[in-house]
Every structure is written in structure tokens, then in C-alpha cells.
Structure 1
Amino acid sequence: MTTQTSTTGTSAAARHFADKLRFETDPSDVKAALDAGEPFVLVDSRGDAAWRQGRAAGAIHLPTADITERAHATIPLDRPVVVYCWGPGCNGSTRAALAFSLLGYEVKEMIGGFEYWAREGLPVVDDSGLRERAVDPLTAPVGAIDCAC
């Protein structure tokens, strides 16, 4: 592996990583923002069966296929949006983020999706109510508030 040492390469790398942080977030940061009362809408972009099976507490349901038709009636244009789908093996949240951005919304994609939300032991709701899940030690520190990264 070679290391980029030119100023141009460093600037390009800095822009790349800054853009990632501008357009992506993760489950623990989303939960912290929800707890802090930050003004945004968390959108579960999966279909009906997935929504019923379980979703991040605090999310609204707006499947990707319905975003173009329903977004403006559901979410004010000046409200930032965070979208998620199943997990890292699914690009549904990328499609949802694109749909929102084409409509003029400020949008971030929650990397890791619902899978990592649940695996980090964050609150999950299904049609029966709130479900408690243990933290998966491969995704988050057990007994700690955050990973301090």
C-alpha cells in the first residue's frame, strides 16, 4: 500500500471524508440526536412486512417507493431527514436518501441500518410494543454509553 503525500491527495481525502460525515451517520449518533431533541425525522424506508417485524424507536414509516409521492405531505421540506433500511448488505437507504435529496431535503443515510440499530441494543419497536435486545459485543461496547470513537 502506498501513502498519498501530495497536498492535492490530502485535500481530496479530506473532502471525501468530510462529505461522508456530512451525508452519513450511525445508529449511536442518531440515538444521541433523538435523545437531545435535535430536529430531524428518522425514516424507515423498508416495506410493510419489515416495518411490522421491528423498527427503530422514534422512526416513521415511509417506504422508498412512496417517498416521491408522500414526502412533502409527511415531512416539512426544512426538516432534515435520516433514512435507514435493513443493514450494510442493502442499498435501500441509499435509494431512499437519493429520493429525498432529489426532492430538496437535507438527508443523511444511517450506515448499518436497522441491523446495527438493533445489534447495538438501541430501542426497537414492533407491532407488540418496545422490545429489549442485548448489545452485540461485536458492534458496540457492552455496558458503555458509546464506543468513544
Structure 2
Amino acid sequence: MTSTPAIDSAVLGVPAADPAVAAAHFSARLAFEADVSDVRADLLAGVPNLVVVDSRSDASWAQGHIPGALHLPTGRIAELAPQLIDRDTVVVTYCWGPGCNGATRAALAFARLGYRVKEMLGGFEYWVREGFAFETEHGTEQRAIDDLTAPRSGISCAC
């Protein structure tokens, strides 16, 4: 009887987690994160007690932002959030995109103030790349869907 030679695996070099541990991990991630499609769906549906916060600079906000978002730069969250956002509201933070951790810093600032908070994965970049309308200092704009981020049809990927 011959045995199959062992194959080094980049994926299985560290064994996969026990299913219960994996379920806890992924559930926890969803408690901290939301994607742009889900945020857009909730904004369009008018989900109550939810506010989307753009934590970028004034110049970045003017360049483009999510319709209905509140502009609150990270450095001003501790000062202004208690005046502007009810404590029962869930806050969703965003910044430029996946290469920027500004939304993470903003989410941390809100959490330290006692708010329930999630970070929007992909940030403003993926909002635009998925073909969603955005506002600028000159009005509303929309770009073509980047088919590396969303179906060309514009129909939700339903993932």
C-alpha cells in the first residue's frame, strides 16, 4: 500500500477553527461591521435610530459624501456627538476606503462615548464603486458600477 505524499498547504497550515468558534467569530464581526449595500438599503428604507457619519475632513466631504450622512470629523466627535446624536441611535462610520482606518478611529471615539457603533466596510470608495449616488459641493453625482465590486446589472449580489 502506498501513501499519498503530504502536500504543504498555505490555507490548511493553520487548521480551520472549530465550527462553534468560527460562528462566534463571524457573528462578532457582523456586530462591528456593515457593508455599503446594506447601509444604502437601510438609508433608502428609512430605518429609524440609525445615523451614518462621515468622519473625513471638510475638503473630503465637499468632494463627495453619502446622501443623508452626517459630517462629523473624528477630531470633533467627542465635542459634538452628544449634541447631535441621540444615545439610542446606532452610528455607522465611514471614511475614504479600505486603505484608510479613519472610520475605525471614528467608531472607537463613538464607542468610548457610549454609542453602539458599526464601521462601514469599503468606505466612500466602495459606495462610489458600487454605483451609488453621492453628493458633492456641486450637486448629486453617480459613476458607473465597477464590476469588480458589484454586478454590472446594478441588482444586489444578494450575498
CA contact (8 A) 2:89 2:116 kept: yes
Give distance in 2, aligned partners of 1:27 and 1:12: 27
Name the larger-Rg structure.
2
C-alpha distance in 2, partners of 1:89/1:4? 27
**Does the residue aligned with 2:125 lie in a helix, a strand or coil?**
helix
Which secondary structure does the structure 1 equivalent of 2:154 belong to? coil
Structure 1 residue ranges, 4+ long, deviating more than 3 angstroms after superposition: none
Counterpart-to-counterpart distance in 2, 1:23 and 1:93 = 12
Name structure 2 gaps, 5 residues minimum.
1-10
**Bigger relative contact order, structure 1 or 2 (CA pairs below 8 A, ≥6 apart):** 1
Aligned 1:68-107 pairs, distance under 5 A: 68-107=78-117
User: Aligned partners of 2:56 and 2:135: how far apart in 1?
Assistant: 14
Give the drift of 1:129. Answer: 0.9
Aligned-pair CA distance for 1:35: 1.1
Normalised to the residue count of structure 2, the TM-score between the two structures is: 0.88
Partner of residue 4, structure 1: 16
Any gaps of 5 or more consecutive residues in structure 1? Answer: none
* RMSD between superposed Cα atoms in Å: 1.1
Match of 2:65 in 1: 55
Distance 1:144 1:124 in 2: 16
Shift of 1:14: 1.3
CA distance in 2, matches of 1:51, 1:125: 9
> Secondary structure at the residue paired with 2:52?
strand
Q: How does 1:1-149 map to 2 (within 5 A)?
A: 1-2=11-12, 3-4=15-16, 9-39=18-48, 40-149=50-159
Contact 2:128 2:142 (8 Å CA) reproduced: no
Q: Given the two structures, how large is their TM-score scaled by the length of structure 1?
A: 0.94
Shift of 1:145: 2.0
| Offset from partner CA, 1:76-121 (integer Å, 9 cap, x none) | 1111110000000000000000000111111110000000001101
